[in-house]
């Protein structure tokens, strides 16, 4: 009986691993969907997402998101251990650590895991982030993130849906301040409404603008954003 259970467990693990490999390969060239999108579809909830290639997203937003979410995006291999150690040091336990998730880790969570603060999920993000960084160019990784992240209070996903909801315009045409507001609304666009920013969100957006100016393009030096 025990041997049979091990065989079944091995078969399940092998099936999951194969599915993961197939999805990573497929998502390198087809628009992926997040687990949260799938859940919302399955439960009949609203999902709004218009996929846009990174060339059709304002460089203002690209810079604002990278500076705000993962300033060393071009200089690590999926996990920024400097930020991880700092976040853990500031938290009581791993589950409470904030600010350590790179764009690769957030993409891993959105595509393959579930939204929670459980330690096991945080640990699983790490190997998946490394795989995504190895499998995809950084440009593709950021493009996927910008199109799958939850970015609105009512099922809006990705930069295009977020820009149209908040400002009534395409993500291609965002101003630096609009981009800073959207970037600063992450990771909680329900509480931080870029369409009607409160004083707190405006302060965060101003810091983001200052960070983008101070960075001078270094955070996105690995990306070719020429139109």
Domain ranges across the chain:
31-220
pLDDT value of position 11: 83
Q: Worst-scoring range by mean pLDDT, 21-30, 88-97, 171-180?
A: 88-97
Kindly tell me if the per-residue pLDDT of 35 is higher than 90.
yes
* Banded pLDDT at 175 (limits 50, 70, 90): very high
Structure tokens at 86: 């700092």
Domain 31-220 = CATH 1.10.3810.10 = yes
pTM above 0.95, yes or no: no
Query: What are the tens digits of pLDDT across the range 126-135?
Result: 999 999 999 9
Kindly tell me if the per-residue pLDDT of 120 is higher than 70.
yes
Pick the more confident residue, 82 or 113: 113
- Cα separation of 74 and 222, whole Å? 6
Residue 147 has a CB neighbour count (10 Å cut-off) of 25
Kindly tell me if the per-residue pLDDT of 97 is higher than 60.
no
Kindly tell me if the per-residue pLDDT of 227 is higher than 50.
no
- Cα separation of 78 and 142, whole Å? 11
pLDDT value of position 119: 80
Kindly tell me if the per-residue pLDDT of 203 is higher than 50.
yes
- Cα separation of 159 and 179, whole Å? 10
Average pLDDT, the chain: 89
Q: What are phi and psi of 96, to 5 degrees?
A: -95, -5
């Amino acid at each position: 009986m025990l041997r049979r259970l091990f065989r079944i467990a091995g078969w399940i693990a092998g099936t999951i691993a194969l599915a993961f490999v197939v999805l990573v390969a497929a998502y390198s060239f087809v628009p992926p969907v997040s687990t949260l999108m799938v859940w919302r579809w399955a439960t009949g909830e609203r999902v709004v997402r218009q996929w846009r290639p990174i060339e059709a997203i304002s460089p203002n937003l690209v810079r604002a998101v990278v500076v705000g979410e993962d300033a060393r995006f071009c200089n690590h291999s999926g996990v920024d251990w400097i930020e991880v150690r700092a976040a853990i040091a500031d938290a009581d336990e791993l589950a409470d650590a904030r600010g350590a998730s790179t764009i690769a880790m957030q993409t891993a969570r959105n595509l393959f895991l579930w939204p929670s603060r459980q330690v096991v999920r945080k640990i699983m993000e790490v190997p998946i982030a490394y795989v995504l960084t190895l499998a995809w160019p950084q440009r593709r990784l950021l493009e996927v993130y910008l199109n799958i992240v939850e970015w609105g209070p009512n099922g809006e996903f990705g930069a295009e849906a977020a820009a149209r909801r908040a400002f009534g315009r395409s993500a291609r045409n965002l101003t630096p301040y609009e981009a800073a507001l959207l970037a600063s609304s992450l990771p909680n666009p329900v509480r931080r409404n870029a369409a009607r920013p409160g004083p707190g969100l405006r302060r965060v957006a101003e810091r983001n603008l200052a960070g983008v100016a101070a960075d001078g393009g270094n955070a996105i030096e690995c990306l070719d954003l020429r139109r």
